[in-house]
Structure 1
Amino acid sequence: MPALEFKNVSCRFPVPGGIYTATENVSFSIGDGEFVSVVGPTGCGKSTILNAAAGLLKPADGEVLVYGKPLQGLNRRAGYMFQAESLMPWATALENVTMSLTFRGEDPKHARELGMSWLARVGLEKFPDRYPHELSGGMRKRVAMAQTLIADPDILLMDESFSALDIQTRQLMEDELLAIWQEKKKAVLFITHDLDEAIAMSDRVVVFSAGPASHPIGDFPITLDRPRNVAEIRMTPAFNECHAAIWNVLRDEVLKSYQQHRAAI
């Protein structure tokens, strides 16, 4: 049974002069423990699909299934790691990490112990009392990752979570995420603009068409050996073969999206 399944999902939004169809008849699934990335041109509805998976957006047509059951309201079995900063500025690193446990009414001592263990797992055990403004961008992303994973979600939703980081920090974060995923084997739906990142991280890469009415136009299994080092795997012939096959499908959609944006200016 898939952990997450989209069945003919269409999402529409009112805009001046009519209705905009962001996605149309989107159907694909993520198996339990599977790491799936979605790539596509800017504006192709990738984040829209992620919000539908989180239960933050109700599709106009179709349905989202979570372990075989139609999603109603928020997806309580998912953790969401946003692209933008999601830490509370008035809370310390440890308080941010344990916030979901606090809201659940967990024992404070147990929450602190678990929070410290997760800070240690992301290399921040020496900084539990630092506030977000006292941490670097990479450190804040590590706190956000621990904040998401401490709740032990069955499904991890990630929206270009590392896109704002420099390349070295980004690769470190990617390796840390893969190490945790390799241990926990959660279902992951990973949204990214970076095809290299998608291939290096994933079991499958789903390619979306240019919008409007975006939909999957390719589904590529990534058979590269695990565990992976994201910097080293990119230099292998097998990686380049995957990249060429996916880019052959994605290239025309990127050009189409670019031409549409230019025509709209």
Structure 2
Amino acid sequence: MTPAIELKDVACTFISKDAPGQRYTAVEHVDLTVGAGEFVSVVGPTGCGKSTLLNVAAGLLAPSQGTAHIFGEPLRDVNTRAGYMFQTESLMPWRTASQNVMAGLEFRGVADAQAREQAEDWLRRVGLGGFGDRYPHQLSGGMRKRTSLAQTLVLDPDIILMDEPFSALDIQTRQLMENEVLDLWNSKKKAVLFITHDLDEAIAMSDRVVILSAGPAAHPIGEFTIDIPRPRDVAEVKMTPRFLELHAALWSVLREEVLKGYQQQLQKAA
């Protein structure tokens, strides 16, 4: 089958605004595929270019080298077949939860009544039925994340791009959100490219995990198939022998790169 996302020999080089002669290559020689209906996570040290790759797949960043294809077609502009769930808050504070969720539908020209009906339906699916009239400041962090999830999924994208969406949540809320995402994904089987720094999260949720090296010029150094049966509960699966085996295998590859990334951060701070 044609992959939903296919990155071939992708590199992204940036020129410093402060020193035009200086260049920084965030990622290089990256080959990455996500099959239709597949859940793939990318992990790596802080600053290794994980989000850069997500922006390439979203069509928000053109690679300096290599190509990006979406369902076999070259990606030359914004990826209209993808929904993007950001790490930071993406809700408009002057709009209610329902109005935030229906915003994308409005931009697509969907009639107001139909957009509102779909928004309320998705709010119910993520456990926020009855909260549609609340503004973001009236919602907890977990509820805002649920609203952002509904905002992404209401557009029924073929691809879901997620950039560390739950990193700011407490562990209990985070596990609830992870399970909700898995339940929704299992019912729709969209292609998911999930960026995280949390190895436990990556293993618990994914079909495959790709490990990036430390930057600069980060590149894939390992790929692991997660053969834990589905459906999964992210808290319970972490106590299984197979999870522990996979965690040890992935960490043996990732550990040295994390140490490299940590040393680089210390040198920048010095």
Letter in 2 for 1:201: M
Cα deviation, residue 261, structure 1: 2.0
TM-score by length of 1: 0.99
User: 2:262 matched to which residue of 1?
Assistant: 258
Q: Partner letter of residue 157 of structure 1?
A: L
Aligned residue for 2:13, secondary structure, equals strand
In structure 2, C-alpha distance between the alignment counterparts of 1:153 and 1:108, rounded to whole Å: 20
Corresponding residue for residue 38 of structure 2: 34
Please report how far the alpha carbon of residue 109 of structure 1 lies from its aligned counterpart in structure 2 after TM superposition.
1.5
Q: Which residue of 1 aligns with 2:207?
A: 203
Instruction: Pick the aligned partner of 1:242 from 234, 243, 246.
Output: 246
Tell me how far apart the structure 1 counterparts of residues 49 and 258 of structure 2 sit (CA, whole Å).
13
Question: In structure 2, what residue type is equivalent to 1:135?
Answer: L
Aligned to 1:48: 52
Amino acid at match of 1:82: F
> How far apart, CA to CA, are the structure 2 residues paired with 1:84 and 1:259?
26
Q: Which residue of 2 aligns with 1:139?
A: 143
CA deviations over 1:45-99 (Å, ceiling 9, x no partner): 0000000110110100001110011101100000000000000000000000110
Shift of 1:262: 1.9
Distance 1:80 1:156 in 2: 6
Residue deviations 1:150-199, cap 9 Å, x none?
A: 00000000000000000000000000000000000000000000000000
Find the counterpart in structure 2 of residue 6 from structure 1: 7
TM-score (norm 2): 0.97
Matched, 1:79 2:83: yes
| Paired residue type of 1:13 | F
**Pairs aligned (count):** 265
Deviations 1:119-138, CA, capped at 9 Å, x for gaps: 10011111110000000000
- The 5 Å alignment of 1:1-265 reads 1-15=2-16, 16=19, 17-264=21-268, 265=270
Task: Compute the RMSD of aligned alpha carbons.
Answer: 0.7
Give structure 1 stretches of 5+ with no counterpart: none
How many angstroms apart in 1 are the aligned matches of 2:94 and 2:265? Answer: 39
Aligned equivalents of 1:216, 1:49: Cα separation in 2? 11
